[in-house]
């Protein structure tokens, strides 16, 4: 274990000595002069360039000596690009994400039971007696609403009663 730690430390020390050297003032001036040349590559017309790109000479110098990258923000290796807003086709909401509107029939709108079991009551409220019971997926005709309760008519047998509307979903 000690041998591994010593070897790793030696490799890190040698790497920092080689890659961590400072640039001399002559090297820095030469690099800045290369970066300021007007032969810098251009960005496409769809973007706005806020900072100059590095020249090919500066890029090859940076590849051979990674420490030689410019320090100032004006000579940064990465160019900021501002995107422009594009005009495209009008977006249409897919059918599964649309707000469902219930199917209208004579006497009301068609809704479906979303609860596993739903009590049909004689009036709007849990204090009223149970008239019938519905299962998930049963279709009902919504006739009226009153404070979170819906008056429904069961289509098969014509039974009318009240259910909590939050347990109903519209049928498309």
Q: Could you identify the residue written with the tokens 């820095």?
A: 28
Taking residues 137-156, report their average pLDDT.
Answer: 88
Model-level pTM? 0.41
Domain boundaries, the chain: 26-85, 100-170
Model confidence over 101-126: pLDDT tens digits? 666 666 678 889 999 999 999 999 89
Q: Cα–Cα distances in Å, from 74 out to 29, 30, 60, 98, 141?
A: 15, 16, 19, 49, 70
What does the mean pLDDT of the chain come to?
74
pLDDT at 8: 94
Q: For residues 49 and 55, what is the distance between their CA atoms, to the nearest angstrom?
A: 15
Both structure tokens of 56: 């090919």
Model confidence over 58-89: pLDDT tens digits? 555 555 555 555 555 455 556 666 666 667 78
Q: For residues 131 and 19, what is the distance between their CA atoms, to the nearest angstrom?
A: 85
DSSP code for 36: T
100-170 maps to CATH 2.30.30.40: yes
């Amino acid at each position: 274990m000690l041998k591994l730690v010593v070897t790793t430390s030696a490799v890190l020390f040698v790497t920092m000595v080689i890659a961590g050297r400072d640039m001399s003032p002559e090297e820095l001036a030469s690099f800045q002069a290369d970066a300021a040349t007007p032969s810098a590559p251009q960005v496409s017309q769809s973007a706005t360039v806020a900072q100059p790109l590095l020249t090919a000479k500066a890029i090859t110098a940076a590849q051979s000596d990674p420490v030689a990258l410019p320090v100032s923000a004006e000579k940064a290796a990465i160019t900021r690009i501002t995107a422009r807003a594009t005009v495209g086709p009008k977006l249409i909401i897919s059918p599964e994400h649309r707000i469902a509107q219930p199917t209208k029939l004579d006497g009301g709108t068609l809704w479906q039971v979303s609860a596993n079991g739903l009590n049909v009551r004689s009036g709007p409220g849990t204090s009223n007696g149970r008239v019938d019971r519905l299962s998930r997926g049963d279709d009902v005709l919504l006739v009226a609403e009153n404070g979170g309760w819906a008056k429904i008519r069961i289509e098969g047998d014509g039974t009318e009663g009240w259910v909590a509307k939050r347990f109903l979903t519209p049928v498309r």
